[in-house]
Amino acid sequence: MRAFYDRPTLEVVGDLIGKVLVHQRRGVRTSGVIVEVEAYIGESDPACHAAPGPTPRNQPLYGAPGHAYVYLNYGIHYLVNVVTEAHGSPAAILIRALGPLEGVDVMRRRRGRPGKPAVHDDDLCRGPGNVTRAMGITLAENRLDLTGDRLFVEDRRIDAGPIAWGPRVGIRVGTEQPWRAYVVGQRAVSGKRVDSSAGRLATSR
């Protein structure tokens, strides 16, 4: 459904929390409840990749809504966004954390490092770099049409808890905008953990 993404970005943010992100390739399916996202909106947003104007890398931001924007960050991590707003209006939403649902065994394998202790299930998709590693998302998924059957958001909502908004994290500029949304108390949300007992999804063990 293209129209879902063809709207003001902050509206999409609110509707994205609690929905299920799915990636399937070569018969391997992984999915998780979206519990943390950040909006990057327009050339006037200094933290948005569109801030310098159109470049080869940020071209997906200027394209049609409902497509993926994936890029390599710090030379190490892939970060995945969903492109929003009308064609020519550069904006996107960064997927920062998921509560694992399907393919948890695959996620454990992708996140596991030889000789290291196993990653806790709540940490499998905690942080944007971990989301892509656990989901198997790379540059190959850049520009993918999210209305297709390979990478998409399911049209169902899981009540994971109350939603809160705050400043975006991990950026040096543009921190005054409260464009980060997350599920309060959910274990997979990045940053300091407030409560140690609440927020575990029944589905994510």
Partner DNA sequence: CGTTCGATGCACT
Partner DNA sequence: GTGCATCGAACGT
Segment 72 to 111, residues that bind DNA, using CB under 7 A: 72-77, 79, 81, 92, 94, 111
What is the C-alpha separation between 68 and 137, in angstroms, rounded?
10
Nearer to DNA, 131 or 181 (CB): 131
DSSP conformation class of 126: B
Residue 82 CB, shortest distance to DNA, in Å, is: 10
Residue 128 interacts with DNA (CB under 7 A): yes or no? yes
Residue 43 CB, shortest distance to DNA, in Å, is: 11
Residue 70 interacts with DNA (CB under 7 A): yes or no? no
Residue 41's nearest CA partner among 3, 11, 19 is 11
Residue 125's nearest CA partner among 2, 13, 8, 34 is 34
What is the C-alpha separation between 154 and 20, in angstroms, rounded?
5
Nearer to DNA, 89 or 190 (CB): 190
Residue 46 CB, shortest distance to DNA, in Å, is: 9
Residue 166 interacts with DNA (CB under 7 A): yes or no? no
**Only segment of 5-13, 127-135, 150-158, 175-183 that touches DNA (CB under 7 A):** 127-135
- Cβ neighbour number for residue 75 with a 10 Å cutoff: 5
DSSP conformation class of 200: -
Buried/exposed 144-169: b ≥16 CB within 10 Å, e otherwise: bebeeeebbbeeeebebbeeeeeebe
3-state secondary structure of 8: coil
- Cβ neighbour number for residue 64 with a 10 Å cutoff: 15
**Only segment of 68-76, 98-106, 148-156, 175-183 that touches DNA (CB under 7 A):** 68-76
Residue 137's nearest CA partner among 158, 112, 110, 119 is 110
Residue 119 interacts with DNA (CB under 7 A): yes or no? yes
Nearer to DNA, 3 or 76 (CB): 76
Residue 114 interacts with DNA (CB under 7 A): yes or no? no
Residue 56 interacts with DNA (CB under 7 A): yes or no? yes
Residue 197 interacts with DNA (CB under 7 A): yes or no? no
Residue 26 interacts with DNA (CB under 7 A): yes or no? no
Binding site for DNA (CB under 7 A): 38, 40, 47-49, 52, 55-58, 61, 69, 72-77, 79, 81, 92, 94, 111, 113, 116, 119, 123, 126-131, 168-173, 190, 192-193
